[in-house]
Amino acid sequence: MSSDTSPSSGRLDAPARTVGGAGGAVTRRQLPVTDPPWLKVIGTTLRLWLRRRVLRVPDSGTVSKLRRAGLTATVIVAAAVAVGATVLLAGSQPGHAARQPRQHAPAKPVVTPAQAAATANGQAAAAWIEAQVSQQVMVDCDPAMCADLQAAGYPAGQLVVLQPGGNLPAGGATATLIADTALLRSYSARLDAAAPAVIASFGAGPETVQLRLVMAGGATGYQRSASKALAARRAAGRALVLAGQLHMQATAKQDLRAGLIDPRLILVLGRLARRDSVYVVRFSDAGPLADPSLPFRAAEIDGFVTRQGNRKVTELPQVLKLLEAQPAPYRPELTVTHQAGRTVVTIQFPAPSPF
């Protein structure tokens, strides 16, 4: 009778298998386990799913050639879709983003304080020239200054662009102005001699922009013409004061006697005083830092209201009509303002004053 005491499961515990000699037990070397390629895993999974769920064929069953071809094509398409999704997913993960070329912002030009000051002075000069200078006057300038003048509204046909090595304007019968800039001074050191009279100046130091009057004969010709013009203005101003038809403040009377008033302004005020009662508040000039020998081109006048009996009568309409009827070049620009109950008319002629 057998004395078998093995478990009821029927399994026998096998002794450890030895490899090698008869006496020594050698542990079996484990081969490295490698994961199957992930494309193969995806393909196998899809094939089994389609076989079981779509074709309804057991794992041990056979599939016809036609159905097998369709199954293979479906697996390939599905695998391709899975690959694309995997690539997109990997690209969206941190650390897997496609390396983009580094974009370098364009370097901003470095503007020095001197360049900024030169630009600001040039733009201020251009605005003043457009507002104050007769648009019949030719203006010589460097390329940047000419561009500023044209942008400010000065007629392009009245601008002459000066280039390095070019001749400076020599002056002539018609008035010519030159915009003296740092760039233009680097072209030539003879600007003072060619255009000695400064009618306006903007800024200070090396970046100063000056508007100069070009005279025939340079500095010598300017001194000769300026002396004659001053003598003529003095004679005309004193005659107007002695006539007693013009009422004015003491300072304005002194300026008129000294010959510091533009001859066009003297002529128009004389015509106005012969017809209406005019009071000159002051003479002025909008040219900043101009040479003190240059005449004033503007006058502020009031006193247009008079009494006739118990009522006040204004002569302003008649005054404006007379001023607007003046022929060129004696037709001034007029500005009417109201100051503390007074009506003030500013009469102004464009630069430069005639010599």
Range of the domain at 208: 125-216
Residue 174 shares a structural domain with residue 292: no
Pick 146 or 110 by higher pLDDT.
146
What's the pLDDT tens digit per position in 18-29?
334 444 333 334
Among the three residues 216, 231, 249, which one is the final residue of a domain in this structure?
216
What is the residue type of 4? D
- Residue 2 within a domain: no
Say if residue 116's pLDDT is above 70: yes
Among the three residues 216, 241, 261, which one is the final residue of a domain in this structure?
216
> Please, which pLDDT band fits residue 341 given cuts at 50, 70 and 90?
confident
C-alpha torsion sign, points 155, 156, 162, 167: negative
Alpha-carbon span 218 to 198, nearest angstrom: 13
Say if residue 155's pLDDT is above 80: yes
The answer to whether the beta carbons of residues 276 and 303 sit under 8 Å apart is no
Residue 235 shares a structural domain with residue 212: no
CA separation, residue 64 to residues 55, 207, 330 (Å): 11, 95, 112
Among the three residues 216, 242, 271, which one is the final residue of a domain in this structure?
216
